[in-house]
Amino acid sequence: MAETAVIMELNGAGGVKTSLASKVARFCTEDSVEPLLNHPCRIPASGFNYSFRKTWCLYITGDFNQVRDIYAYGDGEFADDWGLSPANGGGLFVGNRDTGDNGLPIDAVLHGSDEYAVATGIIGTTGHSIEDVVNGHPYYKDQSTPVKNFDECLADAPHLVDSGPYTDDFYSKALVASAKIPPQAAYGKKTAKSITWIYNIF
Amino acid sequence: MAQPLFRRYWIKVHPDGSAFSQFDPFSGKSHESGEDKDPVAQVLFYPMSPGLADKICKQGDKAEPSNLPPLVFDIPIGGGAKLYRVGKLRYDLRQICGICQMEFSPDLEECPRCLAKNQWYCGSCDALKDKPIIDHETNQVRCPDCEATLPRGLRHIECIGDFYQESHYTSYVLEISDRCREVEYMDIDEGDWKTCTQAQNTQRHFILDYKINRKAPT
């Protein structure tokens, strides 16, 4: 049987994995796989607010010889479509490593280590940014470029999450994402956006 | 779980005339190109026939018959071919009407079939409110008519639900090189000379497996 693929979100201290199929993921100010309209992102009076970090991975099962080169990309319009005022520093940012795969290792057996860290912040107000010197994501915050604007990750220049290879059912390394919200951001309901994941099968 | 939907498949033809197919023609069992290590003389892409699609579905995969054109790629003698499949997974938000079950775009505020939409209800006025006061500071939605006297929160009457529609596309990449040559290089980690095969003059072909809906000429 060819592969089946699903995107999983990791939540809680232990990184419980939940399939996003038939769920609605929202950037918000709590660590929840399906927060509905609770704890929406808040626009700050000054400085920046952040959504709680989202941690997503790809789960692939089936009969395949090898799966490798897992990338993610968007349409380059997240900041504009969500009114995040990119001119003032807002946008959707993802964890970035100086070298190698940008994805977060979440499985000691598959990835060599488990670097998952629960999303933190002040519930209902702001999350901690990925690059925050104190409360940032431990796997990214000390990199020279700890985040990348996801609007730069396009179909012809996608974000390398996990180079693999995998020869059996696996969870990929994870994409860590957070919305950065400046005071100039627009209030209100946001349009739905999609992230595309691609992978090669040999 | 999303599965790829196959509308065309590849067949590798070896120099001795034998062939290795992505799907077993008798059982429909799927194979990936990496399982076949033999040299390749030709790579064919064939549209899915109804019989093979049926066998593939019985194996638990997804396939549908198509009339996509057959494609033939010759591999030069002394050259090489690298073939792999690309999976693309995307979740698109959609809305579903709780009244008539119609699925529609999240850009629409009301169901295009029965015109149902999410409403705000004021218990004091006993009426639905079209333009409620949305207070982002306090995350409250209040009645505009009661605001001047006794501010009152509104109840959300949800008729429209959100869900993600999974889209899983598959396509193929075929890289054909005119010739391959052995190249010597220094392995810094092991400190000795090794050889590897380097492909030259590589052409990259991207083969779609999508159904293209063309509008009939009028």
The domain of A117 spans 4-201
The complex's ipTM works out to 0.86
Provide the pLDDT for residue A21: 84
Stretch B127-154: mean pLDDT: 87
* The model's pTM: 0.85
At B74-131, the pLDDT tens digits run: 988 877 888 999 999 998 888 999 999 999 988 888 999 999 998 999 999 999 998 8
Q: List the helix and strand counts (H, then E) for chain B.
A: 1, 15
Quote the CA–CA distance of A198 and B33 in Å, as a whole number.
18
How large a percentage of chain A has pLDDT more than 90?
84
**Chain A interface, mutation test: which of B24, B91, B139, B206, most A Cβ atoms within 10 Å?**
B91
pLDDT score recorded for residue B199: 63
Please check whether residue A200 touches B, CB under 8 A: yes
Nearest CA to B22 among B51, B52, B64, B60?
B52
In this prediction, residue A187 carries a pLDDT of: 87
pLDDT digits (tens, 9 = 90+) for A147-191: 999 999 999 999 999 998 999 999 999 999 999 999 999 988 888
What pLDDT, on the 0 to 100 scale, is given for residue A41? Answer: 92
pLDDT confidence tier of residue B177, bands split at 50, 70 and 90: confident
Condensed to tens digits (0 to 9), the pLDDT of residues A32-70 reads 988 888 889 999 999 999 999 999 999 999 888 899 999
Q: What are the extents of the domains in chain B?
A: 5-89+167-208, 124-155
The residue ranking higher by pLDDT, B37 or A147, is A147
| Per-range mean pLDDT, top range of A15-19, B81-85, B167-171 | A15-19
User: What is the maximum span of chain B, computed from C-alpha positions, in angstroms?
Assistant: 90
Which of A30, A12, A8 shows the shortest CA–CA distance to A20? A8
Task: Provide, as residue numbers in chain A, all residues whose Cβ is less than 8 Å from the Cβ of B92.
Answer: 192, 194
User: Which residues in B lie closer than 8 A to residue A43 (C-beta atoms)?
Assistant: 136
